[in-house]
Amino acid sequence: MNWRVIQDEPADGPTNMAADVALLAHAHQGEATLRFYTWDGPWVSLGRFQNPQDDLLDPSLVPWVMRPTGGKAVLHGHDLTVTLACPHTDLGVKQVYRMLVHPLVKGLRLAGQLAALGEETAFVGKGTTADCFRHASANDVVDPSTGRKLVGCALKVTRTTALAQCSIPLSMPLIDPARLYRQPHVAAPLTIASKDLIAAITLSL
């Protein structure tokens, strides 16, 4: 598959989500795109089945936006956000996820970070928190030596296309997650430069 690679300037939540939705439309036309972007400050993106009144302690504290993908709430502004959108043919959700998450796992390893899917480690947790980074599932990307969740990934799959929206924290949050969630995660960002990670993921396609 030939991938088009985009690196966008920091933007607000609605602008970033609109750009990702447009990539899904391009995927319907047969185009595969890898997009890297950041945010213009602290934002929360909520999974399409979440509700800000239920899942945030104070929905007015930080601006929030709804994602087209599922999953739990992600705090942005200190992360590299990676979107992959592509066509697929007769693949199940698990197969699609593995296909899209593979370059992230490979890229992290190439950049010097141990990385594996949760199901390949002993660090799979369960929980009902609204915070994406609070628990690691079998499908999450984690450090196999510590269980630290490295990437928050959310997926949308149609009959012919797929969209993955992924967050990789690279510095400390701009606001304490404990002010946002009832069961917050403890921040543990990577120590990889954004430009190095972008290069490694791009090489891993």
Q: Cite the DSSP H helix spans in 42-163.
A: 52-55, 93-110
For the stretch 14-48, what's the b/e string if a residue is b when 16 or more beta carbons lie within 10 angstroms of its beta carbon? ebbbebbeebbebbeeebbbbbbbbbeebbbbbbe
Three-class HEC string of 15-56: HHHHHHHHHHHHHHCCCEEEEEECECCCEEEECCCCCHHHHC
3-state helix, strand, coil split of the chain in percent (to 5) is 30, 25, 45
- E-assigned strand segments in the chain: 3-7, 32-37, 43-46, 64-66, 74-76, 79-87, 116-117, 141-142, 149-157, 161-169
Active site residue 132: yes
C-alpha closest to that of 71 among 166, 184, 143, 161: 166
Which of the following is catalytic: 86, 132, 153, 166? 132
Task: State the catalytic residues.
Answer: 132
